[in-house]
Chains A and B, each alone.
Chain A
Amino acid sequence: MTDTTHGIGGLTFDTKKRALPPELGVALALVLIVAIFEILGRIFMHDSFLFNTRDSVDGLFNMARLKIIILQVSIIGIIAIGVTQVIISGGIDLSSGSVVGATAMIAMSFAQAGTVYGAENTRAVFFTQGWVDLPLAVPLLVGLLCGLVAGGINGLLIAYTRIPPFIATLGMMVAARGIAKWWTRGQPVSFPTESYAALGAGMTPVLIFAGVAILFALALKYTVYGKHTYAIGSSESAARMSGIKVARHKVLVYTIAGVLAALAAIVLSSKNLTAQSGMGVMYELDAIAMAVIGGISLQGGRGSVLGTVLGALIFGVIISGFTFLKLDAYYQEMVKGVIIVGAVVLDQWRQSRHSDRI
């Protein structure tokens, strides 16, 4: 006997039946894609994509490959978490890649070592000022402050003028890239202190990504901040009429996205042991793609951090799979494009099932 409740108009409702979470579909897609690469690998490369085929190493899975997949997507993944909450709130952020560039340059110049290979590092940006070998807190705070300012400006523009998010963040995209180039007139900034270099070493980026993901998964689900983010993305006017301070909330959402982009910049420059003005180009699109593949609706109001994490993994698997199959990078880009458009089409289709009815 099923437990039913009588509703308005005599309809019955099976309370035991629950809609499947949309993340399940994304997870299945991930499994499917891995399976495809596994099959293609067995046929064309006579090797396994997922499993360990070497006798010299222990374990069932090809851990080296799995590690690379996760490491590859962690840095853009950090940005994607910030972008996720922006998209859920009904907005978009095109500036994150450039904010990465500008932040990496600025943070790195406060993180340079005073001596390199036993000689004085006279090429350090702030060598004459004597700002070398600074404690880790300095570049960290300066970097995060860069993201805070950039994101804050995005938010203020979007919330208090009528500029659409697309345009406002496009402006920031161009301006921040300009700052990245202007900072050292295009010169790369290298040789960080040991403490700074540790942030991006080994699997640390994965840990940071995981920490950020867990933090924001909880914040979106269990805090007022999260609830209001969904509400604004779902219906801005309803949110306003219900008494949510929409403008203030949007400033917060974009500021957080900026700070997360800055965090990604710090980890990236640390991992590469250098910062260049061209860093992070196109990262904003990859981050948006991860979110969209993960089921975040570009129309706002829907999606979760878990979805974006799965989307990031799909992203990583595809890149790694193409390398594994020794396919050209051109194909990678093309397939990436197809997948992004496909994910948006899927979302439109999902939405239309609801909005056709009125």
Chain B
Amino acid sequence: MSDIVLKTENLTKHYGGVHALEGANFEIRRGEAVAIMGDNGAGKSTFVRQITAVEQRTSGTIWFDGHDVAFKDPLEAREAGIETVFQNLALADHLNVPDNLFLGRELVRFRLGPFSILDYKAMRKATLEGLQKTGVKIPNINNTIQNMSGGQRQCVAIARTATFKSKLIIMDEPTAALGVQETAQVENILHTLKSQGEPVILISHNMRQVMEICDRIVVFRRGRIVANLRKEDTDGQDVVAYITGAKTQEEYAGAA
């Protein structure tokens, strides 16, 4: 029981009449990399938004790190140790790379409540180290995000999660806008995290990537989990069958 990092029970989210997420039972253990797959609109990002308290769930329970948790806001989730690359990246366009990397937990020279003095030098140094560690190349970290390419933005968001200590990393389509070389870079980061025993939830449409990195694949369809597959027991074609609805696992037969 103790090696379960995150577990959800009947996690449900309704937007008015839209049942975006319905009774999701999910768990991930220490050292595990779990992929979440599913068509557009299947509820994958909704699932992430409930766990990270970007939105408040309609019903259901979330256990994290051995406790029943009810995070009030994303800061609490982050402080508890959940690092997330959101699908929309959650970067502030007018700020530069260090500002974005440390957004919400700035390094300060001395504390004065909200008027604490920023330690620009330390943040800059840590940013350069973080980028180096993750192999992310950004030509000029003083550049504001709005002047960067889609791939560079994605790299900044990924570097942000990989730089901080965490107990669980969630990445929502981290390589969606990346070129071949940059995708390989991100996959390297994922491999590194995995080898360090860091649990990772990877949302991706890229079957090759999922098969290479993840131990388990959870399939979402129309707001419900329809399959939970160990990599050894499945292949690409099989997963696609679950995604499209050609197949549904027995224990989820009530779903979809």
A residues near B, CB below 8 A? 5-9, 11-13, 15, 219, 222-225, 227-228, 230-231, 233-235, 237-245, 249, 252, 301-302, 354
Q: What residues of A have a CB within 8 angstroms of the CB of B118 in the complex? A: 222-224, 227
With both chains docked as a complex, state the minimum distance between the C-beta of B211 and any C-beta of chain A, in angstroms. 26
Complexed CA–CA distance, A242 and B106 (Å):
11
Nearest A residue (CB) for B54: A241
Q: What residues of A have a CB within 8 angstroms of the CB of B140 in the complex? A: 5, 7, 13, 15
Nearest B residue (CB) for A244: B104
B218 contacts A by Cβ under 8 Å: no
Q: What residues of B have a CB within 8 angstroms of the CB of A227 in the complex? A: 95, 99, 103, 106, 118
**Chain A at the B interface: SS class:** helix
**Chain B at the A interface: SS class:** loop
Q: What residues of A have a CB within 8 angstroms of the CB of B68 in the complex? A: none
Q: What residues of B have a CB within 8 angstroms of the CB of A8 in the complex? A: 137-139, 149, 151-152, 155, 179, 181-182
- The total of interchain contacts (Cβ-Cβ below 8 angstroms) comes to 114
Complexed CA–CA distance, A237 and B86 (Å):
11
Task: Report whether A354 and B116 are in contact in the complex, using a CB–CB cutoff of 8 Å.
Answer: no
**A243-B116 contact in complex given A5-B139, A8-B137, A15-B140, C-beta closer than 8 Å:** no
With both chains docked as a complex, state the minimum distance between the C-beta of B16 and any C-beta of chain A, in angstroms. 16
Q: What residues of A have a CB within 8 angstroms of the CB of B99 in the complex? A: 227, 231
B residues near A, CB below 8 A? 52, 54, 73-75, 78-79, 84, 86, 88-95, 99, 103-106, 108, 112, 114-118, 120, 137-140, 146-147, 149, 151-152, 155, 179, 181-182
**A235-B91 contact in complex given A8-B139, A243-B73, A243-B104, C-beta closer than 8 Å:** yes
5 closest A-B pairs by CB: A7-B139, A243-B75, A243-B104, A241-B90, A13-B139
Task: Report whether B86 and A241 are in contact in the complex, using a CB–CB cutoff of 8 Å.
Answer: yes
Task: Report whether B103 and A244 are in contact in the complex, using a CB–CB cutoff of 8 Å.
Answer: yes
Complexed CA–CA distance, A11 and B137 (Å):
11
Task: Report whether A223 and B112 are in contact in the complex, using a CB–CB cutoff of 8 Å.
Answer: yes
**A239-B103 contact in complex given A5-B140, A7-B137, A230-B95, C-beta closer than 8 Å:** yes
